[in-house]
């Protein structure tokens, strides 16, 4: 997995609550059997004026000029500011894959949906929860200043604004450890294979009907 330690980049404000995973990456693009290549279709229905198709070259498609990531001042955005309950809806990991493929490294919001939040960490993408008032302040600052950049320091667990103001955020110790070191968690789990086998043996005694049933 890709590491995340510290990142500085252009921030863009996506000013709507309850951005769902259908909005992040519409279903027709989930037919791909790959993990990469979803970036051109990130926010497809908000970003383009026509209906997108899988495997289509997006270069010639009509852009929605009102959509924030289409505005020239937000070109190269890698820090996405969002509103409450970002990533609600389906479990599709294509949502973080699309954000990552587009170049987003971190999403800052007052709250996230659980499955999306969890999926981000598996892909080197850092979701950051800040208080609503802090997110509001960042929205105001980014809208007021072109070229506004934010720095995220995972080691110190802070978001740093251009004026040097710092906002601390929480992150689980295990997830932080994996992100900082780019660790593959299957490998970590398999270090406990003996414990899994011991549990499984107990389970087989207690609930034998769960073993060998599906053939």
Contacting positions for another protein (CB under 8 A): 16-18, 20, 22-23, 26-28, 30-35, 45, 51, 54-55, 83-85, 88-93, 96, 111, 113-115, 118-119, 122-123, 172-175, 177, 185-186, 188-190, 192-193, 195-196, 199-200, 203, 206-215
At residue 66's C-alpha, the angle toward residues 65 and 70, to 5°, is 55
Task: Compute the least distance from the CB of residue 126 to another protein, in Å.
Answer: 15
Report CA-CA distances (Å) from 150 to 104, 105, 158, 185.
13, 11, 10, 29
Task: Compute the least distance from the CB of residue 91 to another protein, in Å.
Answer: 4
Task: Compute the least distance from the CB of residue 42 to another protein, in Å.
Answer: 14
Task: Compute the least distance from the CB of residue 43 to another protein, in Å.
Answer: 11
Residue 144 vs 213, nearer CB to another protein? 213
Residue 74 vs 139, nearer CB to another protein? 139
Q: Which segments of the chain are extended strands (E)?
A: 6-13, 79-81, 106-109, 126-129, 149-153, 158-160, 166-168
Residue 16 C-beta-side C-alpha neighbours within 13 Å = 11
Question: CB under 8 Å to 38, separation ≥6 — which residues?
Answer: 25, 29, 32, 94, 97, 98, 101, 102
Task: Compute the least distance from the CB of residue 73 to another protein, in Å.
Answer: 22
Tokens 């809806």 sit on residue: 89
Residue 136 vs 153, nearer CB to another protein? 136
Residue 93 vs 141, nearer CB to another protein? 93
Residue 164 vs 212, nearer CB to another protein? 212
């Amino acid at each position: 997995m890709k590491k995340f330690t510290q990142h500085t980049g252009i921030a863009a404000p996506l000013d709507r609550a309850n951005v769902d995973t259908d909005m992040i990456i519409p279903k027709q693009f989930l037919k791909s059997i790959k993990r990469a290549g979803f970036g051109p279709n990130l926010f497809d229905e908000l970003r383009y004026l026509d209906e997108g198709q899988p495997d289509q070259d997006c270069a010639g498609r009509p852009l929605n000029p009102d959509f924030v990531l289409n505005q020239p001042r937000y070109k190269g955005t890698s820090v996405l500011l969002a509103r409450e309950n970002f990533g609600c809806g389906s479990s599709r990991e294509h949502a973080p894959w699309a954000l990552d493929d587009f170049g987003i490294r971190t999403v800052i919001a007052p709250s996230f949906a659980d499955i999306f939040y969890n999926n981000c960490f598996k892909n080197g993408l850092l979701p950051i929860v800040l208080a609503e008032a802090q997110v509001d302040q960042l929205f105001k600052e980014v809208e007021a200043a072109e070229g506004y950049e934010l720095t995220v320091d995972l080691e110190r667990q802070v978001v740093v604004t251009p004026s040097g103001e710092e906002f601390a955020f929480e992150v689980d110790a295990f997830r932080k450890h994996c992100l900082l070191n780019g660790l593959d968690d299957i490998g970590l789990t398999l270090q406990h294979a003996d414990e899994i086998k011991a549990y499984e043996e107990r389970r087989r005694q207690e609930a034998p009907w769960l073993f060998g049933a599906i053939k």
